[in-house]
Structure 1
C-alpha cells in the first residue's frame, strides 16, 4: 500500500503490484529521470512529508502504467514533451487535469488520486494527434486530440502502428461490425443530456474512460492511485464506462497497439 497526505491526515491507497522501488524513498527528480518527463513542478503549499509520500505514489503509478501497457518507462514522458505539476493550481473540485497548451498533467494535492491514468490518456491522445495526422499540423490541430480527428475521417500517415491505433478508436466507439456508433457512445450522449452540455460524449473523454476502465479491470496490477472509480461509482452505474464484454475487446485492441509500440521502442 502507498500513503498520501490528505489535509494533514495520512490516507491509504490499495496497491498490488511489483516493488519497483525496493521499498526505497524516491523524489520528484527520480520520477522526472525514470519516466522521461520534460519537467516537474510542485506547489509551494506541499510540505516535505507530502512531497515524500506523493513521490512514492506517483512513481509507483507511472511504473504500473508502463507495466500494464508493456512499454518502457520513458514512454510515460511522451518523448520528454509531458510535464507534471503536483499540488499547483487547478480547480479545487478537480481531481486532475491535462492542459494541452503547456503539455502538463496536473494532479491536485488532496484529490488527484485515481485520476492519473485518465489524464495520461488525454496527454497521449494530444501528443499522438500530430504524429497520426502530421499534414494537418496547424494551430487548431495541435490543440486537438487524435480521437477527435479520427471522427473527421482525415487520412492518417500510413504506418502499421497508426492502423492499430485507429482500430483501438473503432473498437471503443463503433459497433462490432463498424457500421454504427457503439452503445457506449449512446449512453455517453444520454449523460450529456442530463447535465445539459457536451462533455461525456467527447471522443477523448470516452477514450479516457475506456482506457482507465480497461486498466482497472486488468488483474495483474491494482493501484487506486493510478485508477479508481470505474466500477462502483454513480457514473459507472449510469453507464459511463464500457461494459465488461466491451472492455474485453478494448483490452485486446489496446494491447494490439501499445505492445508492438513498446517492442519497437525497446530495440
Structure 2
C-alpha cells in the first residue's frame, strides 16, 4: 500500500471542511509557477495527495503567519509530485530548475525541509550581491557581508548566526560541531553544509511549534535517531531559533500585507 494513502497525524485548523481539492487549486492558492504530476501517480493517489499537500502547505503558511502565496515564492517555485525522483531520495529541491519535488510514496514529512531550501535559494539575491544562480543565503552568510541591511535581512542573519556560530560568535556552534561529527562518521560532506544545517533548524522549529502539527509537513525530528546524534538543534537553541525565524516571517507577512493592501 503506497505511503500516500496511509494516515498522517495532523492537528490544526480546517481549511477545506472535508472538500476535495486539486492541484489546480493548490497552484492558484499558493502561487506556484507550475505543478507537475508524474504519469504513474494514479487518480486516487492524486486526490489523496492533493488534500495532504494542500493542508500541509496551508499549515506552513499558518505557522509562519504569511499569506499563502508566499509559499510559491512570488510565482518562481515549481512543484512536482512523483516525477522521476531519485532512488532513496524522498524529496529534493533542485536549484537549477527551482523545483520542489516529492516522491510519490515517500515525500511525506520532508516538505518543510525542502521548502526551506527553496526559500533559502530564493532569498539569497535579496540579501547578497555576490549570489550566483545556485547560491543559498545560509551558505553565503559566513563568507560575505549583507549587501542590504534591511531589518528583515538582519533578522534572517541573526537566524544564520545562531545556527552556525557559538553564542559569543567566536567559534563554530555545537550544532555545527555535531554535524561535522556525523559527516566524519558517515564519510561525507552533507550534515555540516550551512544550507543543510539551516534546513534542519527550520524543520525543527516547525516540528516543535505548539500551534499545529502535521506529519506530512514535517516528521522524523522529535525523538529520532538523528536528533539523538545531535543532527538537530538542542531544545534550548531550538527555542531561540523558533522565536527568531517566526518573528522574521511574521514581519515579512505584515510587510507584504501592507504592500498589497
Whether the TM-score (by the shorter chain) exceeds 0.5 is yes
Question: Does structure 1 residue 241 correspond to structure 2 residue 236?
Answer: no
Which residue does the alignment assign to 1:6? Answer: 2
Q: CA deviation at 1:177?
A: 2.0
Q: Which runs of 5+ in 1 are unaligned?
A: none
Q: Secondary structure at the match of 1:12?
A: coil
Q: Write the distance in 2 (CA, Å) between the matches of 1:156 and 1:63.
A: 32
Q: Write the distance in 2 (CA, Å) between the matches of 1:92 and 1:193.
A: 23
Give the number of aligned pairs: 258
Question: Does structure 1 residue 40 correspond to structure 2 residue 31?
Answer: no
Alignment equivalent of 1:116, drawn from 108, 111, 116: 111
Which residue does the alignment assign to 2:252? Answer: 261
Q: Write the distance in 2 (CA, Å) between the matches of 1:173 and 1:100.
A: 22
- Deviations, residues 192-221 of structure 1 (Å, cap 9, x unaligned): 001111100000000000100111101110
Which residue does the alignment assign to 2:173? Answer: 182
Q: Following superposition of structure 1 onto structure 2, how do residues 188-227 of structure 1 map, counting pairs within 5 Å?
A: 188-227=179-218
Runs of at least 4 residues off by over 4 Å: none
Q: Write the distance in 2 (CA, Å) between the matches of 1:53 and 1:116.
A: 16
Q: CA deviation at 1:22?
A: 1.4
Superposition RMSD in Å: 1.2
Q: Which runs of 5+ in 2 are unaligned?
A: none
Question: Does structure 1 residue 106 correspond to structure 2 residue 97?
Answer: no
Q: Write the distance in 2 (CA, Å) between the matches of 1:107 and 1:169.
A: 26
Which residue does the alignment assign to 1:161? Answer: 152
Q: Write the distance in 2 (CA, Å) between the matches of 1:75 and 1:173.
A: 26
Q: Secondary structure at the match of 1:153?
A: coil
Q: Write the distance in 2 (CA, Å) between the matches of 1:97 and 1:160.
A: 30
**Normalized against structure 2, the TM-score is what?**
0.96
Tell which deviates more after alignment, 44-53 or 171-180: 171-180
Q: CA deviation at 1:153?
A: 2.6
